[in-house]
Amino acid sequence: MGIEALLSTQIIDTTTVGRAVMTAADAAAARTAIGAGTSSFSGAYSALSGIPSTFAPSAHKTSHATGGSDALTAADIGAAATSHTHAAAESPMLQWLLLVLQESSLIQKKILLKLSS
């Protein structure tokens, strides 16, 4: 069983453009068939012309404020929400502060003598 050659016009459901691409002699002819033309653009940003050399920042802090069009939340910057709390047992600093306040209260009531240095 040998390979049989088909003409582009013998392939069912082909379009004029599709047949022109299939029969194009080279890449330039295929580009012409699809209307792409040619380009020498490398794709590099530096190859573009007319680009600005600097990009000045625009003032937009009000849009990030509460009620702004793109307001930031605590979660957006990794902060805890205002509703976030900790029990005293979870915070060594809070435990220390409570101990100091309790000792201060005992000193005021003259239950515990103030330590002098």
Please write the tens of the pLDDT for every residue from 30-76: 988 998 877 788 889 888 889 888 888 888 888 888 888 888 888 88
Closest CA to 29 of 40, 17, 41: 17
> What integer pLDDT is reported at residue 96 of this predicted model?
78
End-to-end C-alpha distance for the chain, whole angstroms: 108
Amino acid 66 reads T
Look at residue 17 and tell me whether its pLDDT is greater than 60: yes
Dmax over Cα atoms in the chain, in whole Å? Answer: 112
**Regarding predicted confidence, which is higher, 3 or 92?**
92
φ, ψ (nearest 5 deg) of residue 75: -65, -30
The pLDDT tens digits for 66-116 are 888 888 888 888 888 888 887 766 778 777 777 777 777 666 666 555 544
Q: Which of 28, 50, 24 is nearest to 39 (CA)?
A: 28
**Contact predicate 31/37, CB 8 Å:** yes
**What is the reported pTM?**
0.31
- Both tokens of 26, joined, read 């080279």
